[in-house]
Amino acid sequence: MWGENRLTRMLGIRYPVIQAGMAGGAAMPELVAAVSEAGGLGTLGAGYLSPEGIREAIREIRSRTDRPFAVNLLVTQEPSPSAEELQRGRELLAPVQREMGLEPGEPARYAPSFAAQMEVLVEEKIPVFSFTFAIPEQKWLNRLKEEGTILIGTATTVREGKLLEAAGVDLVTAQGAEAGGHRGTFAGTYEQGMVGTMALVPQLVDGIGLPVIAAGGIMDGRGLAAALALGAEGVQMGTAFLTCTESGAHEVHQAQILEGTEDSTVVTRAFSGKPARGIRNRFIDQLAGREEEIPPYPVQNALTREIRQAAARRKDPERMSLWAGQGLRLSRRQGAGELVHQVVTEAEAVWKRFGDQKG
């Protein structure tokens, strides 16, 4: 039933199902390997990992599976915030820190060095590299290509898809507004990039010549069937994999997703300085209306790290970043391999219902 398409051929996978690379510890080797072993494409969420941590994780994935996998990075430049900007950001967080009994601390660094992370990916000759937030410098794309790595960029508009195509990527993820986590918008305002998956996918399919991966709100086989009907050649699912048994997401995060509903999430800059969709909580509400004072990513992300980590230790959902998409009622607790198989089986059932033998 599952024939090949450009995407499955390029990626060397059986089913057109990609587990999103989710930075922050959810998408680690156990989950990645389980998805790849099941015939999908697992992705290491390496955005916040140190270069050495990335190398270790890649080796761990390779010890668990011979199948292709991806590594995902957040294209980030070293920031140089002004003293004033930092002061404003710290003042904004002071009441939260007081309530939590935390001393305001100095972040060791804002984000890992992107160049050092990329060196590891080149050295390790990874099968697939996916990225978001920007387009990496051409030299990195060329070096990865020389090692045979397939490149996947993230677009939230057709314009961004065209820029990615011109940069020479192999596939483009269409990240709809429903998607959990950070927005990948890099050419335009975040509001311009808030295009729903249903509207974005077919327009991107028409606008570029590369295979398109649909992402945002896809949780089951109905979502996969719908994405393929819109012209996508595969799907990328994040939230759906967060509650799988191999997920590294915090138990409180998982519980909130399993209990969440279609209206539980909001897009906020409160945690990281970059718009991201997550389950609304007290921290988001406390910073609402003060968007102007929040320093940009990754500065705010570093300033809130201590708050988020302390909240996680205390199992306090009100101060944790609970990134999730809008498909919350469809989340399930099961093995990641089981989810991949269930999604493709459900999609087959949809086609059967339509009396179509599509593959």
What is d(CA 203, CA 175) in angstroms, rounded to the nearest whole number? 12
175 lines the binding site for ligand FMN (CB under 6 A): yes
Q: Is 181 in the site for ligand FMN (CB under 6 A)?
A: yes
* Window of 94-102, 235-243, 298-306, 312-320 that interacts with ligand FMN by CB under 6 A: 235-243
* Number of Cβ within a 10 Å radius of residue 262: 13
| CB within 8 Å of 166: residues ≥ 6 apart | none
- In angstroms, give the least distance from the CB of 66 to ligand FMN: 25
Q: How far apart are CA 351 and CA 221, in angstroms?
A: 10
Shortest distance, position 94 Cβ to ligand FMN, whole Å: 27
275: contact with ligand FMN by CB under 6 A: no
Q: Which of residues 133-172 bind ligand FMN (CB under 6 A)?
A: 154
Please state, as a whole number, how many other Cβ atoms lie within 10 Å of the Cβ of residue 55.
18
Q: What is the DSSP letter of 236?
A: E
Tokens 């809130």 locate to 304
> In the structure encoding, which two tokens stand for residue 70, read together?
């991806």
The residue from 15, 327, 340, 341 that contacts ligand FMN (CB under 6 A) is: 327
Question: Cβ 356 to ligand FMN, closest distance in Å?
Answer: 25
Is residue 232 a contact partner of residue 205, using CB atoms and an 8 Å limit?
yes
Nearer to ligand FMN, 73 or 294 (CB): 73
Least distance (Å) between residue 276 CB and ligand FMN? 8
The two three-digit tokens of residue 20, written as one number: 């999103």
In the chain, the amino acid numbered 81 is: P
**Residue 92 interacts with ligand FMN (CB under 6 A): yes or no:** no
Sheet containing 276-279: give its strands across. Answer: 181-182, 276-279, 265-268
Q: Which two tokens stand for residue 56?
A: 């270790």
| 237 beta partners | 19
**Which residue in 42, 180, 207, 221 binds ligand FMN (CB under 6 A)?**
180
At its nearest, how many Å lie between ligand FMN and the CB of residue 173?
7
Residue 201 buriedness (CB in 10 A; 0-12 / 13-18 / 19+): buried
In the numeric block, the tokens 């090692």 are attached to 147
Return the number of the residue (205 or 235) whose C-beta is nearest ligand FMN: 235
Which of 92/277 has CB closer to ligand FMN? 277
* Site for ligand FMN, residues 199 to 218, rule: CB under 6 A: 215-218
Query: Which of the ranges 16-24, 140-148, 300-308, 332-340 carries the binding residues for ligand FMN, by CB under 6 A?
Result: 16-24
Q: Which range touches ligand FMN (CB under 6 A), out of 83-91, 260-268, 306-314, 318-326? A: 318-326
> Residues binding ligand FMN: what is the number (CB under 6 A)?
31
DSSP for 253-266 reads HHHHHHH--TTSEE
Q: Which stretch binds ligand FMN (CB under 6 A): 164-172, 259-267, 303-311, 317-325?
A: 317-325
Residues 257/245, Cβ–Cβ less than 8 Å: no
Question: Rounded to the nearest 5 degrees, what angle is found at the Cα of 15, between the Cα atoms of 223 and 143?
Answer: 110
Under the binding rule (CB under 6 A), the answer on residue 260 touching ligand FMN is no
Among residues 89 and 217, whose Cβ is nearest to ligand FMN?
217
Q: Which is nearer to ligand FMN, 8 or 130 (CB)?
A: 130
Binding site for ligand FMN (CB under 6 A): 20-24, 26, 45, 47, 72, 74, 132, 154, 175, 178-182, 215-218, 236-240, 323-325, 327
